[in-house]
Structure 1
Amino acid sequence: MRRHRHKSMTTVRQPMMLSRIKRSNFWARFRIILLVAGIAAGILAVIFFGFPLVEDLIKGVDPSLRYQPKVEASFTHEEESVPQSIESAELYFDKKYQLKNEPYIDGDQIIFTTQAQKGVSQNLDGVVVYNTQTGEERLLENTEKKYDNFICPVLSGNIAVFLDSMEAGGGRILGYDLETGEQFLIKEYAYAPPHLSMSGDLLAFMQWAGEETQRLYVYNVQTREPVTVKLYEAAAGNSDVDISDSDMVWAEKDGKGNSVLKRVVFRSDGTSEFENYNFGNAVYGPKTNGRQIVYKTEENSISGTLMISTEGGEPTKLAEGVFDYEIGDNFVAYSKDGQIYVAYTNAADTVQLTNEITRNLLASANGNGVCYYDITDKSTENAVLDEVVQYAYVPET
């Protein structure tokens, strides 16, 4: 019996000893792996940190600067590729002039017509000139309104021009000397109100003289001399004329669907002459600054293609989907989808002047200035709200 028990005990202990030997070998191998890993990590640390550290110490550079995080804002960017921002300001009168009709900018001054005499009817019976530098407004004195409304004001230097218009058609073109306070008559008209364009001492307009007759006039506001540039018999309805210091342009129609550019250049010796540019037969509403000419390729379109030519060169597309546009000294301002854009004529930059959350309507552009309406709060067409007029000055590129 004892031998049987002793044999049984010997048989049980042998597997336990083998298990211990295996565990001992595992830990030995694990220690070797850890040692090798530690040596490798040390070598890598010397390569990545030790060598650069020695290099920094040799060069006399603070080693901590090598591992500072790189800040994107500290990088240098190419400023030439970034369009300049344009700041806008508001024409504000604390409810004094709720109506600010057709604001037109000229240098530091903005002219508009308004309701000066409060009453039941909302007739535009006053003309206001606002100074953007001082914030002062001037209601022009001694203005005589013979008909219904003062409309279409323009300004150049010390001379303002506007229409005294009848709602049924007809009226007169009036001038006003800001220095003397004198109003003077330029011309009577019997049909639709003409569109006025003014530059320097020259005022230009296309006037209907009958159902089939148009006359192109140029008037010198200083000498008070009028000139009939051209008489159109059986006219198909030519475009408005636009004038600069050195030229004037308009589109001439032939009654067969063709509309071509016409241009008169003013020479330094006081003479002028016609110049013909071949822009095709789809030129509508051309405008000029003396160097560039812009126009649309569709008539009476609320979203047309805007083309531009420099010094009579091949026209190129400036923008699509354009509602309205004006030209300044070095830019074209246009409205599209309720926003106002400024495209520089001497660069490829276009700046969105207005904010996406607003709705806007272009009013005028002249020189280096732009005027526009913010119509975001016009909840209804007949809402009696203070008209919000913004203006901005476009910097040179």
Structure 2
Amino acid sequence: MKRYSRRNRRRIRRRRSSLSASNWGPVLALTGTVLGVLAVIALVVFVALPKLLPLIGVEYRAPFAPTPTPAPTPVPTPTPHPMSYFVPSEAQNEVVFENSGDYKWFGDPYFYDGVMLLSAGKLVDSYAVMQDLYFFYPETRTAEQVPVTLENAHFMFPKFNEKWLIYLDARLDGGGYLMAFDRTVPGAKPVLIKEIYTGQPEPMLDGDTVAWIERTGTRMDKLFVCNLNTMETTTLSMFSNSVYGQSLPSLRNGLLCWADAESEGGAGADTSVIYSIRISSSTVRAYSPGTYVHDPECDGTYSVWMDSHHAPDGALYYSKNEGEPVKIAEGVVEFGLGSHFVVYSKDEAIWAYMFDNGRTYRISAEQELAQFLGVSDDRVSWMDVTTRARDIVKFAAIP
């Protein structure tokens, strides 16, 4: 029994040790080595490199890694245009202040820095005479009478800025005195810019400069420019027997512009040129829009004009940077240029055309009959003529 047991144990030990000595031993060893190498490579490719290379500015994406799906770009919510919130009946204001009931007529409203200057009139010897000037403060709805005494009959075309106030001291039969006074000098008295003999031209004010077109003879009109600091007046252009002498000039942002006939050899008598000059310069520019031009207004970017003398079928045009003209509307009676819009009257209503989106918005309220008075300081003024018992001046800021 003992011999048999030893013999069997020796056989068992030989069988256990024979697996490593068999043909499978090298295969298993090689397989283990390959798997180890692959594990090291995978560790480097998928773990080490993606972490280390970006640290030195090298973009790296592991092989077989899924292409990252970009996050969807959110669609921006369009910002509504400021005029989308404009409600005419809520945006408009009426000029009402203490003692305003003493006057039956108001005229020529002009805004600067949020303050309105306007003339106020009464019936004097059967004439409607605009005999007083007021500063009206919309925020407090208060008014302050301007301490200016007339030499003639009534005030026309008052305008002002931080330093100057100008106006035409007009006679009832035409003509008058073009006056100015320095608001920065306490107790200053109005000084004469020029005596007007014929007609009653509207002066334009910008900084220290005044410009106007005046009838100086039977068939002669002249464009004058005056430096208010020196009271030196210069004749910039002359119109002999020309309808362009009845066209208003424009003066804003240091730029003066006016209309005149196209030179000989042009497209014809029905086409005009808009001339412009910087007050600080001596170079005159000419822009030919290819239409007739009346009462042009320019600000250095936009030019706006009528193609007729306010005829019932007249059209309103504008151009940007002296480019191709764009027709805004037909049947326009009056208009005024703002910083980013043009306001006009049509069908006894007030409208605003916005340059940025090319859309037109109603400014005066529905069922209201309106007469355009002007645009200044990005505010439009008009007369509510629904009832003519008295003058009702309204205004609205254009956002």
Tell me by how many angstroms 1:392 deviates: 1.3
Q: Distance in 2 between matches of 1:84 and 1:176?
A: 41
Q: Alpha carbons of 1:336 and 1:139: their partners in 2 closer, same or farther (altered >3 Å)?
A: same
Q: Distance in 2 between matches of 1:375 and 1:305?
A: 23
1:152 maps to amino acid: F
Tell me by how many angstroms 1:341 deviates: 0.8
For the pair 1:105 / 2:119, whether they are aligned, the reply is no
Q: Counterpart of 2:143?
A: 137
Tell me by how many angstroms 1:330 deviates: 1.1
Q: Distance in 2 between matches of 1:102 and 1:110?
A: 10
Tell me by how many angstroms 1:129 deviates: 1.5
Q: Counterpart of 1:85?
A: 86
Matched residues, number: 311
Q: Distance in 2 between matches of 1:158 and 1:372?
A: 26
Tell me by how many angstroms 1:126 deviates: 1.3
For the pair 1:161 / 2:171, whether they are aligned, the reply is no
Aligned residue for 1:95, secondary structure, equals helix
Tell me by how many angstroms 1:182 deviates: 2.6
For the pair 1:351 / 2:358, whether they are aligned, the reply is no
Aligned residue for 2:80, secondary structure, equals helix
Q: Counterpart of 2:304?
A: 294
- For residues 118-133 of structure 1, what are the structure 2 equivalents within 5 Å? 121-133=127-139
For the pair 1:260 / 2:305, whether they are aligned, the reply is no
Q: Is the CA contact 2:274–2:293 (under 8 Å) kept in the aligned structure 1?
A: no
Q: Is the CA contact 1:83–1:350 (under 8 Å) kept in the aligned structure 2?
A: no
Kindly report the root-mean-square deviation, in angstroms, between the aligned alpha carbons of the 2 structures: 2.5
Structure 1: 5+ residue runs without aligned partners? 1-75, 379-384
Q: Distance in 2 between matches of 1:324 and 1:140?
A: 28
Q: Distance in 2 between matches of 1:233 and 1:319?
A: 31
Q: Alpha carbons of 1:245 and 1:211: their partners in 2 closer, same or farther (altered >3 Å)?
A: same
Structure 2: 5+ residue runs without aligned partners? 1-75
Which of residues 355, 380, 393 in structure 2 aligns to 1:389?
393
Q: Distance in 2 between matches of 1:352 and 1:222?
A: 41
For the pair 1:247 / 2:255, whether they are aligned, the reply is yes
1:165 maps to amino acid: A
1:374 maps to amino acid: D
Aligned residue for 1:312, secondary structure, equals coil
Which of residues 176, 179, 189 in structure 1 aligns to 2:196?
189
Q: Is the CA contact 1:344–1:350 (under 8 Å) kept in the aligned structure 2?
A: yes
Q: Alpha carbons of 1:325 and 1:236: their partners in 2 closer, same or farther (altered >3 Å)?
A: closer
For the pair 1:369 / 2:349, whether they are aligned, the reply is no
1:153 maps to amino acid: P
Q: Alpha carbons of 1:84 and 1:308: their partners in 2 closer, same or farther (altered >3 Å)?
A: farther
Tell me by how many angstroms 1:77 deviates: 7.9
Tell me by how many angstroms 1:326 deviates: 0.5
Q: Is the CA contact 1:115–1:125 (under 8 Å) kept in the aligned structure 2?
A: yes
Which of residues 210, 216, 220 in structure 2 aligns to 1:213?
220
Q: Is the CA contact 2:311–2:331 (under 8 Å) kept in the aligned structure 1?
A: no
Tell me by how many angstroms 1:376 deviates: 0.9
Tell me by how many angstroms 1:79 deviates: 4.3
Q: Counterpart of 2:207?
A: 200
1:240 maps to amino acid: L
Q: Distance in 1 between matches of 2:215 and 2:253?
A: 25
| TM-score (ref. length: structure 2) | 0.72
Q: Alpha carbons of 1:84 and 1:229: their partners in 2 closer, same or farther (altered >3 Å)?
A: farther
Tell which deviates more after alignment, 368-377 or 84-93: 84-93
Q: Is the CA contact 1:110–1:129 (under 8 Å) kept in the aligned structure 2?
A: yes
| TM-score (ref. length: structure 1) | 0.72
Tell me by how many angstroms 1:214 deviates: 1.3
CA deviation string 1:162-194 (max 9, x = no partner): 111122222110113334353111110110111
1:280 maps to amino acid: G
CA deviation string 1:102-125 (max 9, x = no partner): 212223111112237977653222
Q: Distance in 1 between matches of 2:173 and 2:296?
A: 28
Q: Counterpart of 2:48?
A: none
Q: Counterpart of 1:11?
A: none
1:247 maps to amino acid: L
Q: Alpha carbons of 1:236 and 1:306: their partners in 2 closer, same or farther (altered >3 Å)?
A: closer
Higher relative contact order by CA 8 Å / sep ≥ 6: 1 or 2?
1
Tell which deviates more after alignment, 218-227 or 160-169: 218-227
Q: Distance in 1 between matches of 2:393 and 2:119?
A: 13
Tell me by how many angstroms 1:218 deviates: 1.2
Q: Alpha carbons of 1:327 and 1:361: their partners in 2 closer, same or farther (altered >3 Å)?
A: same
1:265 maps to amino acid: I
Q: Distance in 2 between matches of 1:117 and 1:184?
A: 27
Q: Distance in 1 between matches of 2:241 and 2:78?
A: 57
Identical-residue share of aligned pairs (%):
21
CA deviation string 1:320-357 (max 9, x = no partner): 22111010111101011111111122332322111121
CA deviation string 1:290-349 (max 9, x = no partner): 211111112240341111001101111111221110101111010111111111223323
Q: Is the CA contact 2:105–2:122 (under 8 Å) kept in the aligned structure 1?
A: no
Q: Is the CA contact 2:122–2:128 (under 8 Å) kept in the aligned structure 1?
A: no
1:111 maps to amino acid: L
Q: Distance in 2 between matches of 1:306 and 1:236?
A: 18
1:373 maps to amino acid: M
